[in-house]
A and B are shown apart, each in its own frame.
Chain A
Amino acid sequence: MAFELRKTQITIDTTHHDGGELATPPYLRGGICAVVKNPFAGKYVKDLQPAMDTLKPLGIQLAKELLAAMRCEAADIEAYGKGAIVGAAGELEHGAIWHVPGGYAMRELLGETKAIVPSSKKVAVMGASIDIPLAHINAAYVRSHFSALELQVPDGPKPDELVFCLAMANGGRIHSRMGGLEASDIKGEDGLR
C-alpha cells in the first residue's frame, strides 16, 4: 500500500488590504497540495485504517514544507485547515484517510495545538478546486480566524490519484470586525474557547 508522491504544489496568498487599511504584517495564507497515487482506486477495500499510519510521514513532510514556504516559525501560525480531493476512480472515504495524518502533523509541528482542524473533502476530476476551511489553532470559536483558502492543482487528481491538502494562516481575516471571541481572550484549554 504505497501512496506514491507525484507532485506537490504550494500556494502562498499574501493579502495587504481588502478595501480597508493596510495590514502589517499582511494576512498570509499558505496551502500545500500533495498529489499521490490512490492504492484503493477502482475497487472496494474494506480496511482503510492502516493507511492512516502509512501517511503520517507525508503529513509531517507537507506541514514542514508549507511552514518553510510561508517563511514562518511555528509560533507565527494562528489558523489551520485541511482537505482532500479524491480522483474519480476512488470513493469519498479515501479522502477521510487524511484526517489523522494531516491533522496530527500540523498539531505536532505547531506545538500540540488544542482545536480541531477544520476540513472538507470531495470526489472530483483533474483541476477541481477545493475550499480549505481555516480556524484558530487553539480555540475553535475565535471568530476573527474563521476563513478559508481555495486550492487547485491543474493536473490533479487523475482518476487513480488523491490530492491531500494542508493550509495555515498567520492570523485572522484582514479586516475582521465581527466581534465574538477574540484571539487575545482565549483560554486555549478545551479547544473551543
Chain B
Amino acid sequence: MKANVRKYAVTVEETCQEMNREVNPSTRKAVAIAVIENPLRGEFADDLEVLMEIGAELGDVLGRKAVTALGIEPGEAQSFGKAAIVGEGGELEHAAAILHPRLGKPLRAAVEKGAALVPSSKKMGAAGTPIDVPLGHKDAAYVRSHFDGIEARLHDAPRGGEILVAIAVTDSGRPFPRVGGLLHEEAVGEDGLR
C-alpha cells in the first residue's frame, strides 16, 4: 500500500427508536475511517499523484470495511458518502486528491453499481475535529428519503502531518421518511439521478 495508515476506526450506528416509535427494521449507517500520514505535509506540491493513488486504495479498503461492518452483501448497500480532514501541515487540495479522482470506482465496486455521484465534504482540522459525511442514494441522487449524513470524529486525529479519510455506507434511508419526493423503490438507477 502507498498509504501509511496509522489507524482504522469503524462505527456502526443503528437506530431502533425515533420519537419513542420503534424503527423496524432499524436503520443502519456505517462509517469507516483511516488515518494516514500526509506524504506532502509541509510543502506545496504541484503533483498530487501520490494522494490520488492513496485514494484508490482507501476507496477499496474503507468501502469494504463499511459494508462488512453492516454485515450485508454489497448489493444491499443503499447510500454512501465520503469526506476528509487534512491536518495543519497540509492543504485542502490534498483532501480533493484523495477523494475525487480515484476513490469512487473501488467504492462503487464495494457497494455494487453506484450509478450516482458520491456526495462529499472536506476541511482542514485538528485532532478531534468532527466532519459530517453527507449521504446520498448510491444509484439515484434524487431519492429524498436517503439524503442524510453521519458525523465522523476521532479524538486523536488528524495530527498535523496526517489526513483523516472517512467513507460512510448505509443499508437504509432515514428512520421515518415522509417529506415526499422520489422513493428508493421507485428509483431506476441508471442515470445516477432518478
Contacts and interface: CB of A to CB of B under 8 A. Distances in A.
Contacts, number: 136
A140 interface: yes
A160 interface: no
A146 B99 contact: yes
A120 B121 CA distance: 9
Interface string A138-150: 0011010011101
Nearest to B141: A116
A44 B179 CA distance: 14
Contact of B175 (A93, A146, A148, A176): A93
A91 B52 CA distance: 38
A19 to B, nearest CB: 5
What class of interface size applies to chain B in its complex with A? 35 or more
Contacts of B37: none
12 contacts: A91-B19, A93-B179, A96-B177, A96-B179, A99-B147, A118-B119, A120-B121, A131-B83, A140-B117, A176-B93, A176-B96, A190-B193
Given A116-B141, A178-B101, A93 B93 contact: no
A122 B132 contact: yes
A93 B96 contact: no
Contacts of B93: 18, 173-178
Interface string A106-147: 000000000010111110000001111100000011010011
